[in-house]
């Protein structure tokens, strides 16, 4: 993949790497409860995210698991690689101290996302254990939440790299 143009022309090229992580039941997307989650499948979402990543010049890893421990392992992996994270943790968002600890311990800039507007739904979905250790939260935009999340984490990572290595000019 070619280095991006414009403001980064003279900067040493370091590929930004983002892990897109999906939690429990998101493998059912597009196949059940379309009135809440729409008819787009997770494979469709992955395709949209890959197109957006290509346009941004970002390398991505896209994964889903129904198991909390897998998500913990993948968060640690992203942190060890210096990657960013976009995470739809599904119901673990509201329950998992393990995911929260993994995110805060990983040091990876993390954007929490949701397809639905969790604040317009049941009260137990209003609380997120991972929001306080995330850079920000995007919810309610359907599959577009993933694209907005990728753009947000990309911008945060570019800005952090710029601040860490100011231009010599």
Annotated catalytic sites, by residue?
37, 114
Identify which range of 47-55, 86-94, 126-134, 153-161 contacts ligand CA2 by CB under 6 A.
86-94
Nearer to ligand CA2, 114 or 154 (CB): 114
State the burial class of residue 148 (Cβ atoms within 10 Å of its Cβ: 0-12, 13-18, 19+): middle
Of the residues 16, 26, 147, 153, which one makes contact with ligand CA2 according to CB under 6 A: 26
Q: Does 14 bind ligand CA2 (CB under 6 A)?
A: no
Helix axes 42-56, 144-164, angle to 10 degrees: 30
Identify which range of 22-30, 43-51, 75-83, 104-112 contacts ligand CA2 by CB under 6 A.
22-30
Identify which range of 44-52, 61-69, 108-116, 156-164 contacts ligand CA2 by CB under 6 A.
108-116
State the burial class of residue 89 (Cβ atoms within 10 Å of its Cβ: 0-12, 13-18, 19+): buried
Q: Which two tokens stand for residue 60?
A: 């991505």
Of the residues 8, 125, 144, 156, which one makes contact with ligand CA2 according to CB under 6 A: 125
Nearer to ligand CA2, 16 or 137 (CB): 137
Of the residues 19, 100, 114, 154, which one makes contact with ligand CA2 according to CB under 6 A: 114
State the burial class of residue 168 (Cβ atoms within 10 Å of its Cβ: 0-12, 13-18, 19+): exposed
Q: CA-to-CA distance for 106 and 135, rounded, in angstroms? A: 13
């Amino acid at each position: 993949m070619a280095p991006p143009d414009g403001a980064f022309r003279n900067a040493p090229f370091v590929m930004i790497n983002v892990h897109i992580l999906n939690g429990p039941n998101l493998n059912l997307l597009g196949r059940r409860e379309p009135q809440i989650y729409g008819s787009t499948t997770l494979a469709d979402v992955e395709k949209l995210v890959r197109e957006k990543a290509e346009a941004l010049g970002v390398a991505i890893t896209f994964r889903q698991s129904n198991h909390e421990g897998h998500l913990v392992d993948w968060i640690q992996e992203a942190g060890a690689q210096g990657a960013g994270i976009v995470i739809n943790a599904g119901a673990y968002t509201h329950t998992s101290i393990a995911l929260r600890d993994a995110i805060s311990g990983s040091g990876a800039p993390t954007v929490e996302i949701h397809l639905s507007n969790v604040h317009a739904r049941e009260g137990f979905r209003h609380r997120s254990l991972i929001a306080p250790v995330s850079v920000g939260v995007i919810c309610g935009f359907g599959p577009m939440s993933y694209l907005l999340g990728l753009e947000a984490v990309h911008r945060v990572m570019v800005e952090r790299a710029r601040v860490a290595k100011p231009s010599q000019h």
